[in-house]
Structure 1
Amino acid sequence: MNYQIINQLNDLQRVCSLARDADVVMLDTEFVRTRTFYPQLGLIQLFDGENLSLIDPQALDEMSPFVELLQDTSVLKVLHACGEDIEVFKNSFGCVPFPMVDTQIMAAFLGYGLSTGFAALAQDLLGVELDKSESRTDWLARPLSQKQLEYAAADVFYLLPMYEQLLERVTKAGWWEAAQQESELLSDKRVRVSDPECAYLDIKGAWQLKPRELAVLKPLATWRYNEAVKRDLALNFVIRENDLLTIARLALRSPKRMEEEGIDPHVIRRHSSKIITLVKAAQQTPPDQYPAKIVPLMDYPGYKQLFKKLKDEVKNVSQTSGLAAEFLASKKQINQLLNWVWFEDKDPAKLPDLMQSWRQPLLGNKLLALV
């Protein structure tokens, strides 16, 4: 496993040019995401079948040759469990690899578990036991050790024979096009921009609040989201969800009351004046402008019986298709379909997963008929 470290622009241009001559390249990233809103890119691994490159983005001011490779539609990019890698590319370079396929998704079409890890797949398909002890390392630190570099290189070196085996089997089973569609759907979801005005809907426990309390939570959640993006800080490092719910439920309007209710002292010191301003303004909201009460789907009449019917149909299709029921339609995806029919008037601009690409003819249309 010979690899080269790329930290000069002329070397980056050379390896990216060679990669663009290939039909398929293996890609991976190493990043750190502990306190930040966005993942922090530490290393990029690229393997075109002949040249294995470890690209150091910290040493390079100019990354356009790599960006051009990401956007080159004549080269298929192969990644494994690429969700966060997609976020890394989008945040770092303003684009995502296209076209792209995820070997974890390819494996799911062959009956592997939805979250089968790279090491487990390498062991099963290649008989190779990988050392994953460096998975939690600090990839932003320099210099990187020999062990770290070898760990990173292995992730793309073994990805190629893994991909080749999976491709042969997926193609033979008739799922290759579906695997590409599912990979693209995953990529689209990862780069979808959240609406800060709807951030309150993502807070666990928001459904327990009354509309008057939601009127307070909504601007607080929007402020927290914008603050997190601005400071590149994980949401809960701005203020924890439970603290946000407590402030909204009790409409806390003084540092003393916040302290009495157990709000994080750091939050009180840094943000209490802003929070109090938002709470006071929200309390002026006319009742006819309160957000609607959040009613969990499971509380709607007939939900449990209908959900069971839908799950039974998923099991039927699972048996005939050979695909795992959870892969065909997770609970979240079934609920997404119900929400689309019941509350979004089947808006074509908000198609649920089950009414898109390969799932629609295989399963989605049947479930829609039952709903």
Structure 2
Amino acid sequence: MNYQIITQSEQLDSVCQQARKAECVMLDTEFVRTRTFYPQLGLIQLYDGVQLCLIDPSVIEDMSSFIALLQDTAVLKVLHACGEDLEVFNNSFNCLPNPMVDTQIMAAFLGHGLSTGFAALVDSYLGIELDKSESRTDWLARPLSNKQLEYAAADVFYLLPLYEKLLEATQQSGWWLAAQQESELLVNKRIKDADPELAYLDIKGAWQLKPKELAILKPLATWRYKEAIRRDLALNFIFKEHDLFTVAKLGLQSKQSMESEGLDSRSVERHSARIISIVKSARMLPSESYPNKIERLMDMPRYKQKFKVLKDEVKKVSQSSGLATEFLASKKQLNQFISWVWKKDRDPAQIPEVMQGWRLALLGERLNKLL
């Protein structure tokens, strides 16, 4: 496994020009995400079947040739379990690999679990046991050891023969087009822009709060989200989620009351003045401006009964198709479908995932008749 380390723009230009002559390239990234809001890119692995390159984006000033490769629609980009990789590309280069296919998704169409790891598939299809001991390494540290570099290189070196075997199998089984559709769906889901004004809906337990308390939680969650982006810090390093919930539920308006409720002392010291201001403003709102109480699907009449009916249908299709139930329709996807029917009156502008692409004929139409 011979690889070259790319540290200069001129090297990168040459490598990417050559890679764009290939039908497909293998891609992977190594990144660190411990305290930051955005993943911090440490290394990019690229393999076109001839040249295996480890690209160091921390020292290359001009990454435009790599961005051009990502956007070259004549070259298929192959990745494995690429949800976070897509986020890395989007945040680092403001673009995504196009077109792209995920080998984890390809494997799911062949009866593997949706979250089957790369090492497990390489062992299963290639009979090679990979060393994964460097998976938790600090990819921002320099210099990287030979063992770390070899670990990174292996992720794309063995991805090519794995992809070739999965491609043959998905084509023979008739699932290749569906695998491409599902990979595209993954891209679309991963790059949706979150609305800071709706951040309060993601706070655990928010459904328990009354509209008056939600009126406090909503601006607090929006402030925390924007502050996390501004400072590139993970949300809970700005202000813990449970502490935010406590402030909203109790309407805390003093530093002392926050401390007596056991809120994180450092966060209170830093942000109490801002939080008090937000709480006071929220408490002055007229009741007609309060957010609606959050209505959970599971609390609606007949939900459990209907969910079971849909789940049983998914199991039937799973048995006939050989696809895992969670891959066919996860709990989240079934809830999205129920919400579409019950709350959105089957709005054609908000079609749920089970009613799109390969799922529609296989499962969606059957579910639609049942609800």
Q: TM-score range by the shorter chain?
A: over 0.9
C-alpha separation in 2, matches of 1:291 and 1:343: 17
- Give the deviation of 1:204 after TM superposition: 1.1
**Residue 343 of structure 1 aligns to which amino acid in structure 2?**
K
The equivalent of 2:149 in structure 1 is 149
- Give the deviation of 1:325 after TM superposition: 1.0
C-alpha separation in 2, matches of 1:298 and 1:31: 37
- Give the deviation of 1:342 after TM superposition: 1.4
C-alpha separation in 2, matches of 1:349 and 1:311: 25
For residues 14-163 of structure 1, the aligned pairs below 5 Å read 14-163=14-163
Q: Deviations over 1:111-134 (max 9, x none)?
A: 111111111111111011111011
Q: Normalising to structure 1: TM-score of the pair?
A: 0.99
Indicate whether 1:356 and 2:330 are aligned: no
For residues 117-266 of structure 1, the aligned pairs below 5 Å read 117-266=117-266
**Residue 173 of structure 1 aligns to which amino acid in structure 2?**
S
SS at match of 1:2: coil
For residues 261-340 of structure 1, the aligned pairs below 5 Å read 261-340=261-340
C-alpha separation in 2, matches of 1:368 and 1:286: 41
- Give the deviation of 1:188 after TM superposition: 1.1
SS at match of 1:77: strand
**Residue 221 of structure 2 aligns to which amino acid in structure 1?**
A
C-alpha separation in 1, matches of 2:3 and 2:349: 45
* RMSD, aligned CA: 0.8
- Give the deviation of 1:344 after TM superposition: 2.2
SS at match of 1:369: helix
Q: Deviations over 1:139-180 (max 9, x none)?
A: 001111100100000000000000000000011110001001
- Give the deviation of 1:285 after TM superposition: 1.5
- Give the deviation of 1:322 after TM superposition: 1.2
SS at match of 1:358: helix
**Residue 352 of structure 1 aligns to which amino acid in structure 2?**
P
SS at match of 2:357: coil
SS at match of 2:293: coil
Higher mean C-alpha deviation, range 207-216 or range 284-293: 284-293
**Residue 27 of structure 2 aligns to which amino acid in structure 1?**
L
**Residue 253 of structure 2 aligns to which amino acid in structure 1?**
R
Q: Which segments of 5 or more consecutive residues in structure 1 lack a partner in the other structure? A: none
The equivalent of 1:346 in structure 2 is 346
C-alpha separation in 1, matches of 2:349 and 2:84: 25
**Residue 255 of structure 1 aligns to which amino acid in structure 2?**
K
Q: Deviations over 1:27-85 (max 9, x none)?
A: 00000000001000000000000000000001101000000000000000000000000
C-alpha separation in 2, matches of 1:8 and 1:128: 33
Q: Normalising to structure 2: TM-score of the pair?
A: 0.99
Higher mean C-alpha deviation, range 266-275 or range 286-295: 286-295
SS at match of 1:137: coil
**Residue 269 of structure 1 aligns to which amino acid in structure 2?**
E
**Residue 366 of structure 1 aligns to which amino acid in structure 2?**
R
SS at match of 1:139: coil
**Residue 330 of structure 1 aligns to which amino acid in structure 2?**
S
C-alpha separation in 2, matches of 1:89 and 1:261: 41
Seq. identity, %: 69
C-alpha separation in 2, matches of 1:34 and 1:186: 24
SS at match of 1:141: coil
**Residue 320 of structure 2 aligns to which amino acid in structure 1?**
T
C-alpha separation in 2, matches of 1:266 and 1:344: 43
**Residue 92 of structure 1 aligns to which amino acid in structure 2?**
S
Higher mean C-alpha deviation, range 339-348 or range 44-53: 339-348
**Residue 2 of structure 1 aligns to which amino acid in structure 2?**
N
C-alpha separation in 2, matches of 1:7 and 1:31: 17
Higher mean C-alpha deviation, range 350-359 or range 324-333: 350-359
Higher mean C-alpha deviation, range 290-299 or range 221-230: 290-299
- Give the deviation of 1:351 after TM superposition: 2.0
SS at match of 1:115: coil
C-alpha separation in 2, matches of 1:350 and 1:36: 32
C-alpha separation in 1, matches of 2:327 and 2:66: 33
Q: Deviations over 1:244-283 (max 9, x none)?
A: 1100000000000000101111111110010001000111
C-alpha separation in 2, matches of 1:259 and 1:211: 25
C-alpha separation in 1, matches of 2:351 and 2:242: 32
Higher mean C-alpha deviation, range 43-52 or range 344-353: 344-353
- Give the deviation of 1:350 after TM superposition: 2.2
C-alpha separation in 1, matches of 2:275 and 2:134: 41
**Residue 60 of structure 2 aligns to which amino acid in structure 1?**
L
Q: Deviations over 1:187-209 (max 9, x none)?
A: 11111110000000011100111
**Residue 157 of structure 1 aligns to which amino acid in structure 2?**
F
